[in-house]
Each structure stands twice: as C-alpha cells, then as structure tokens.
Structure 1
Amino acid sequence: MKKILPLLLIHFFVTAACAQNFILHIKNNAHINLTYSTEVLHGIASQLPQQIAADQSITVYFNPNIFTGSEGYVSIFPDNQLNDRVTVYCDNPFIGEGTYAVNSSSLLLCKPTKWQILNKGNDCELFVEISSTTYGKPTVVALNTNGTIKGSLLWDKNNIQSPEVNPYSNAFTCKVLAPTQFIESAGPFTLERTGTYNGRKGFFEGSKEVGSVTYETVASFNPNFVEIRYTVTGVPTDIPIIMDITTDYTKSNWLAGPQKPKPGNEYVFVVGTFPSTVKSTVTLDNNLAQLNAVDFNCDGDWLKVDPNTGIVGGSAMVNKIAARKNMPVLPGSGMIVATKTVTASSQVMATPAMQTKTQQVEVQKVRTAGAVKIRQQ
C-alpha cells in the first residue's frame, strides 16, 4: 500500500496537469424553456442547473478522472417531454482524438456550430444550437453488420516492455461509432457528416457503439517488436463510421523497456497509441466491406511532475499526446466512399503507407469527382 498510494497521486497530478476537459456550450434558439441532464461515463460533470431559459445559453463542463479523460452525454428536452429530447455525446480521452456526436428529435434540431481543440491539444470545446426543426424529420439509420476492420498494434520492446495485464489486448479499448440518424437537407452545413442515405442528400448525426473486437498476438517481422493483430467485425456499411483504439489506464498500467530507465521517483510511465496514418471518415461499400491495415504504433515515456502537480517541461511525449488530438484515425472533415473499380479475388481495401509485409495487394488511389476509388492490381 505504501507504494500504490504515491503512484496514484502521481497519476492524478499528471492528469490534472495535462487536463482533458470537454467544454460544451448550448444555445437555446427554440424560443421555449428547455430542461437538461447529464450522464457521466468517465470523469466528473459540473453541477448543473436544471433549465435553459428561452433564448439563453449555458456551459457544461466534463472534467477528467485519473488517466481516463472525460466522456458523457447531455440530454436537452422541452419541460416534461423526455421523448422529444436531443442528445450531445462528448468524449475527450487522455490519449486519443476528442470526438462528439449530436442526436436530434422530431421536435428539436441540435446543430453543431463550432468545434476546436484548446490548451495545446488537451481540451475540447463544442458549441451547439438547439432550434425548432427546420429540416426534414430525422430518419433512423438501419445499421447492418456487413463490414470488417483489421489492423495491428505494435511496440518496441526496448522502449515498452508490456502492460501489466495478460493477455496484452486487455490493456486497450477499441471504439467504433456509427451514426443513428439521417436528416435530409440541401444545406448549408456546418460540422455535420454530409452524405446520402437511401438516395437522399443530407447529413448523418447521432452516435452508437457498434462492432465486436478480437485480438491475436503474432510473431512480428522485427523480433524487437511486439505485434498484436485486431479484427473488428459487425461494422455497418454504406454509412460513415468513426474508429479508434487507445490504451486504457482503467485496465492496466505499463512497464518501461530496458532503454527507458526511470529517471526518478517523481516520474510516471505513460503509453499511448498513435495511428500510422491519418484518414477521413470512411464509408465501407457493401461490395468492398473489409478495411485492412488500420495500424497503430505504441509509444511511451516518463513524465515528470513537480510538487505543484504540474508537468515539468514540454517533453516530446507531452507534445505527441497533444498532437494526437488533431490526428484522427478514421474521423475527419470529409468522407471517403470506397468503390471497387476492378474485380479482384480478394475484397480488401488498404492504404499503401500502412501495408505490412503480409499484404501482397498493390493499391493505387484514383481520385474522381465525389469519391476516392480503390484499384487493386
């Protein structure tokens, strides 16, 4: 116990110093009084008043817990009309990209108007407006289970020994999000995920976790590396999806490798996942329902905290964590429609920069109007 308590305190200090807050500004343009409530998944939500007066604005804060970042939902609805609620999903993990999703109702429209990363990449800020429905009524998106995502998690044993749990895959959290609604509209759009659904133009919104992940430890081509291959099945096709894999400190701490000796008692070892490439939001076509080589490298380093709970110096790891907030895995400002241009025996989509030695498919991207087509040779 004497060793555990100081470590937990250091973890708290690092989290507090880095900050992983999610700041949500809600503007009530519905011209009626609205009630709201919060559901906290990770972290702590501020003590909130129960009402947003007509034509007024409020700010909701989700603050982090130890190495978890902040995550939760805010529900906004007319007084005593819970079934007409809109929701905002807020997520700012300790290491990983901050994301959000909104969900409208037949009575109210929840519209994002501004999104930004603050405090050198550590805090997320979202502005939304609640108004009476001026677009078409939301259509529930039918989520199939036709798609698959595959990739690897790799780390250098000289820098990172392993997580403390076994199997190693238990130290990670995989999250795949799919939209739950589609609203038909000709625009203008702000931050919504635009696209088509059932032949109609508009934007997707909402958020639901989908898919099931499995892991397999394999022999790496480089004996100095640990390689874990993952497969996410049950991913919907024909709609934009968001995906990320992060280290989860609620599941396990990590051990440093022999080339990363501990500099002193005031240091704590932090490990994160960093995607090998940057992708936009991806829509998997039913004829090309497998996305391969979404790979992550794991990196770790010792972070020093001072007696005032602040991180001493802007280390490379601190800067890398901050940059991770703006380095999406699949989410992004655009949408890629994967379309097969040549018949191939294997329905596999891969990006050249991410291919491993086990993949023998040469892929060439051909840019066309409105789509990125994948040619397999």
Structure 2
Amino acid sequence: MTTIRLLSADGATSEDELNDSGAYARPTAPLRSRVAYAAAHVVPKTHADNTPGQPADIDWDATLAFRRNVYSWRLGVADAMDTAQRNMGLDAAATRELIARSAQVAREEGGSVVVGVNTDHVDEERIPLPQVIDAYVEQLHFTEEQGAGPVLMASRHLARVAESRTDYLRVYAAVLQRATTPVVLHWLGTAFDPQLEGYFGSPDWREASETLLRIIAENPGKVAGVKMSLLNAESEIAVRERLPEGVRMFTGDDFNYVGLIGGDTTGSLSEDGEADRDETRSAEGRRVSSRFARSTTGGGHSDALLGAFAAITPVASAAIQALDAGDPSRYREILGPTEELSRQVFAAPTFYYKTGVAFLAWLNGHQPAFQMVGGLHSARSLPHLSRIVELANASLALEDPELARERWHGMLALNGVDA
C-alpha cells in the first residue's frame, strides 16, 4: 500500500493511503446541462522576484497551458478576476496582457472566455463617480476588442465614494449602456474583499439585492448573468428566483456549489440547512446570449463561475457529464466530496484561497514550482496545505497521485519534516 504523509497543526505526522486518480474521461462533446467556468490563476516565472510589492512576471507558457487544459475538459475560463490575484499581486499591465493572451487562446481552442472588468488601473484611491464610470468603460471596451465576455467586477473605487444605492444605479446604468455585448455582474462578498463592505448600497444582502435586481431591470438586454460570491446559499437562491428571463445565475459560492449547481435535479442543499427549497421557478425556453447558451436552462439551478473549478477541473467536468447523462446521483457521488476540499481551500481568511488553487495546480503538474506572484505562496501554513492534500486525495482530485506524493513529500523535507 502506498501512503502519503500528513502534518497536523501540532507538528505530528501520520500516514494516509494514497488513492488512485478518478481516471475521468475528457468529454467528446460540449457540456449541455450547465454552463461552467473555471476562474483560473496565473503562474509566475520560477526565477522571478516573486516577493510582495513586485510587478507580476508571468510564465506565459505555463499560465496559458493551464487554460488549454481547462478547455480540454470543456469548461470555460474566467480570467483576470480575483483568482488570478487581481489586486493581490497582478498589476494593471499584467492584467491587460493576460486578457489579450487568454482571449487569443480561447479563439485557438474554441473555448469560451469571460474576463474581469474593473476600475483598478486607476492609481488614485478616491475618484469621483464620473471617473469611476470612465475607468469601467475603458476596461470594458478593451475587453470587447479582445473578443472576451465582460464580467463587471465590484469596484473598490465605487465602494469608497458611493453614498447611496442611487450612486450604484447611476454608475452601472452608464457603464451598461456603453456595453456592446451583454455582461455578467459580479457581486463579491467581504470574505473575498473587505473593502467592498456595503456594496450595492447596504451591508444587508436583502437590501443590496434590491439594488442589483433594479440595475438588471432598468437595463434590459444588457445583463447576461449574475455571479454571486457571498458564500451564502440562501442569498443566491433568493436572487436566482427573481432573475428575469435571459439572465443566468453563476454561482461563485465555493462553500455550497454542489447543491446550487445540482439544484432541483439533485435535491436541496445539505450543508448548514441554509437552503431547502423546491419552489424555484421554471425558466424553460429562457433566452440567453450566444456566449452563455451552451447548456439547457432552468431556474432551479445555478450555473458555475468558480475558483474551485480551477482546482478540480477534471472532477467538475465529470460531474457535469453525469448530469448530461441524466444521472444526478452520480453527479453528487463525483462532486460531493470536493466540497469539503473547497471549504478548506477557501477557509478564512478567504482571500488567501488563491494559495490553495496554485498549490493544487503544482501538485497536479500544471506548473513547475509552487510559486505565486507577490509572494502569496507563503500565505498558508504547512498544516493547512496538508489538509488540502488529505482532502484532495479523498475526493480523487489528485490527477497524478504519485507525482503529487513526490512533490508534497519533497516540500515537507525542505521544511524539515521527515518524509
């Protein structure tokens, strides 16, 4: 029996049986039952100055190869968002280059790519609302020129200067009217970015959701979907039930995605009793823009735009393939165990989850070293990473278990743990 060594918080070590990989098969046709995007990370050059405050020096070969791998599993790529360390090491110049390069790879691979649109290229911390609008529009037009789908991210600039929900309505209306293709609106919670407290005009998600829904209603045809990243299944379901026809819900809930994506076909959410609802409305015949029309639709489930799916791409693809085959039990059997892994990756402080995503990419052979821009590879402890190893092994998320074992044991030895 081959084992893998684990490290607990008190320094004790133990051995766990090393499982085989899931041996999942790449799909030979597009996924049908859900639209799913993996929010991808970036890989820096190993020899670069990957220390806090330094500009990102990207290993483009490894970074783009990761995206090609995602496409091979028939998932889409969500790029230049928080998983790519935007505002946590990925500077404006690198963000712009990433968008252009990623869009080119999507064209070459025939994949679907959406990218983040923000105001973060502006250095000043506080700018008036007209400049917030101009900053959004500048990035929006660049994204459209590259042929990528825009995801309108929550702006720290807007959060700092908005005095009421009216300011959010004004800014979003002005930006959406300048969009030439429908966009996805991103609602990022404070677990991911504490500077976004009170976004959409209130710290109460119920009040804030009224602003979000009003933005959609007052700008018909301009919004293709909403990505909610509040780590709160109740709020996502509540908003999902009220979305107008043609607007998808993309879950960004890395704690509860199994039930949210499975929806009515796989039963209610099981974790924490947050949601147990069957009254979600039907939306058969829903009209969607061509960019998001690859799957069948239905109001009783969420589609996916998840950083977690970058960490478990083969597993996520296999689970959706099971839904395509009309086997919701198999879907839960495959994807269910990964939710505990994702909760560990996204554990508080949640904004350091990127470390776990890059760590798993390294274990799975998608990058040559466990390095991240801005030195973020140091943001999690060895016991935290050990728990990721344990849960990835248990959920069959290690694509090459022997390689993962070799790399992990080498890391332990480097840090004085006898492996």
Q: What TM-score, normalized by structure 2, do the two folds share?
A: 0.23
Larger relative contact order, structure 1 or 2 (CA cutoff 8 Å, min sep 6): 2
Say which one has the larger Rg. Answer: 1
Of Structure 1 and Structure 2, the greater strand share is in 1
Indicate the structure with greater helix content: 2
Task: With the length of structure 1 as denominator, give the TM-score of the two structures.
Answer: 0.25
